[in-house]
Amino acid sequence: MPKIPTNQNFFVVDLHYIASFDKIEPALEGHVAFLEDNYAAGNFIASGPKEPRIGGVIIATASARAELEEMLAADPFKQQGLAEYTITEFRPSMRADQLSAGTV
């Protein structure tokens, strides 16, 4: 398995809704646009809703936690007080070949 550069940190972002889904639903379009922007910028690797539908998960990359926190501040869920975020940082020592090839 290829090695990941030491300056590349990965993060697991666990979103937990703190509002009812009837308040979440109107913000989904803006949240999806936020996700799309970060995929286009190369910041996000994967994301999706949790089952049951109590929040979501984002796998992200950034040079530092502060950089990721700045990104997340632009999420409508954050701006509207609809979700809380738990961030777990890790520095991978290995990764799947697909990540190196850009096919994941």
pLDDT digits 0-9 by tens, 4-33: 455 678 999 999 999 999 999 999 999 999
37 phi/psi in degrees, rounded to 5 = -60, -40
Q: Tokens standing for 39?
A: 């995929």
Q: Do the Cβ atoms of 48 and 42 come closer than 8 Å?
A: no
pLDDT for position 73: 98
Of residues 17, 45, 42, the one with CA closest to residue 31: 17
Q: Tokens standing for 19?
A: 């509002």
pLDDT in tens, 24-61: 999 999 999 999 999 999 899 999 999 999 999 999 99
Q: Do the Cβ atoms of 14 and 57 come closer than 8 Å?
A: yes
pLDDT for position 12: 98
What are the domain boundaries of the chain? Answer: 9-101
> Considering the domain 9-101 in this protein, what is its CATH number?
3.30.70.1060
The sign one gets for the Cα dihedral 48, 29, 35, 64 is negative
Model-level pTM? 0.86
